[in-house]
Amino acid sequence: MASKRELTLEGILPHLRRDDEGWRIAYQGVTLRSVFQPIISITHKRVVGYEALLRPTDAAGRPIPPDELFSRAPSMGDALALERLARCVHFANFAEQNVEKSWLFVNALPRLFRTGWPYRPFIDELCDHFGLPPQRIVIEMIEQPASDEALFERTIDTLRERGLLIAIDDFGTGFSNFDRIWRVRPDIVKLDRSLVWRMATAGNDHQFATELVTMLHRAGTMVLGEGVESENELLTMMEADVDFLQGYWLGLPHASITQASAAAPALIESIWERFHARESTAPRAPVTYASFEEAVLIGSRIYQTTGDLALAARQTFKMPHVRRVFVVDARGNQTQPSVALSPNAEPLRLAPLFPDTDSNWSRRAYFKRALASPGRVAVMGPHYSLTEGKDCYTAAVTVQSDKALDVFCVDFVLDAS
C-alpha cells in the first residue's frame, strides 16, 4: 500500500505516463486509463458533460472490470489509492482535450470518506493543477451506505462549499432512497439503468416515471437517465421530463472526447424528430378540461336548485368518463354518501374505506382551488383516488344555497365505459 505522502498529487504526478492512447498510470501490475461517455441535455440539444470511466488492464493487457479491481483491494488504503490514481488520470486526460464549459463527472465511494485522509484538499489540488474550475466537476456518489452518515454529509457540504456539484448515482437500486436525497440535496440524481429499463418496459405505467421525475425536481435536483440502450427507453425518459440522458444508444465511451461525442449533433436532432413523431401519433383520450367543466356545471346547477344529489348525479353521468359525484361542505366534510355510476363496483380491496361519509377532503387541491375562486371550476389530476383505487381526475365548483356554501365534486376515470 502506498503511503499518504506518496498519494499526494505531488507524489502521483511523476507516475503519469503519456502514449498514443492518452495518459495512464501503472499501479501494482495494473494500468489505469480513462474513457469518456457523453451526457446530453435534451432541452439544450447538446452535450453538456462527460463521465470519466476507468479502463484498467492487467500486465498482459487484459481488461479488468473496475468493480472487480476495487473489490480486490486488500484494504481501505488500497481502495483510496486506486481512487486517487484513477481521478488523477481522468483529470489529466480531460484537461488535455480542452473541452470548453462541459462538466466532468467522476465517481466516489462514500465508504472512503471515513478513512480520515484529506479528501477536499486533493480535489482542490487537481482542479488547480489541471486548470479545471471546481464548478465544472461533478462528484458522483455511488448509492451505498456510509458507516458514518453524519461524516458523509459534512464531507458533501465541504465539497459543495468549494463549488463542486454533487450527483447521487445508481438511484433506484440497493441503498438508494429519498431520505438521502432530502438530506444531501444533490445537484443531480442519476436514475439507474435497471430503473430506466423497468420504466420503459411494455405494459408498465409510464406515468410512474413522470411522477418520480417530478418528485425529484421538487426536491430541488436535476435528473439524469443513464444506461439508455434503446429508442423506447430514450423516448420514455423524454416523456418523463428528465433533464439529461446517457447511454450506449447516445454515445459509446472513448478515450477521445471528440470521437465519443462525434455523433451527438445529428443524433440529438433525430431524437427530437422521433419524439415529435411519437407525440403526434400517440393515441389521445378524447377528453379535455372543458368536458370536465361542463359535466360539473350541469350537475352543480341541478344540485343548487333542488338539493337532490341523486338527481344531479343522474344528469352528470350522461357526460363521458364520470364515475362518482359527491358534495362537501366549506370545511371539506362529506356528510352524505357519494353517488357512484356503478353503486356495487367499489373495489373489495378498499372495503375499509367505505362508506365514505364523514370523510374530509379539505387537503385536496381541487377543494382548495374551488374555494379560492367561487363559481369557477377547479380541476385536479391525475391523482390516486381513494374511492376508485386508480388514477382519476376530480373537478369541483362551489354551490351557494340559502343555508351554506358547499363544493360540488365529480370524479372522472378515463377508462370508464
* Residue ranges of the chain assigned to CATH 3.30.450.20: 289-412
CATH class for the domain made up of 9-281: alpha beta
- From residue 95, alpha-carbon distances to 25, 52, 90, 104, 380 in Å are 16, 12, 8, 10, 50
Helix (H, G, I), strand (E, B) or coil at 12: helix
DSSP code, position 329: E
Please report the pLDDT score of residue 116 as a whole number.
46
Task: Note whether 165 and 188 are within 8 A (CB).
Answer: yes
Task: Note whether 120 and 159 are within 8 A (CB).
Answer: yes
Q: What is the largest CA-CA distance in the chain?
A: 90
Residue 174's nearest CA partner among 198, 196, 200, 143 is 143
Helix (H, G, I), strand (E, B) or coil at 104: strand
Task: Note whether 56 and 72 are within 8 A (CB).
Answer: no
The three three-digit cell numbers of residue 239, written as one number: 416523456
Please report the pLDDT score of residue 117 as a whole number.
47
- Count Cβ atoms below 10 Å from residue 125 Cβ, excluding itself: 18
Please report the pLDDT score of residue 416 as a whole number.
41
* Residue ranges of the chain assigned to CATH 3.20.20.450: 9-281
The three three-digit cell numbers of residue 24, written as one number: 495512464
Architecture of domain 289-412: 2-Layer Sandwich (3.30)
Task: Note whether 110 and 142 are within 8 A (CB).
Answer: yes
- From residue 237, alpha-carbon distances to 213, 246, 275, 384 in Å are 9, 11, 11, 22
Mean pLDDT by groups of 10 residues along the chain of 417 residues: 67 92 93 97 93 95 91 76 92 94 88 55 91 94 65 80 90 70 89 88 70 87 93 90 93 96 90 84 62 94 95 95 95 94 75 88 94 94 80 93 91 72
DSSP code, position 331: T
Please report the pLDDT score of residue 188 as a whole number.
94
The three three-digit cell numbers of residue 214, written as one number: 417530478
Task: Note whether 409 and 394 are within 8 A (CB).
Answer: yes
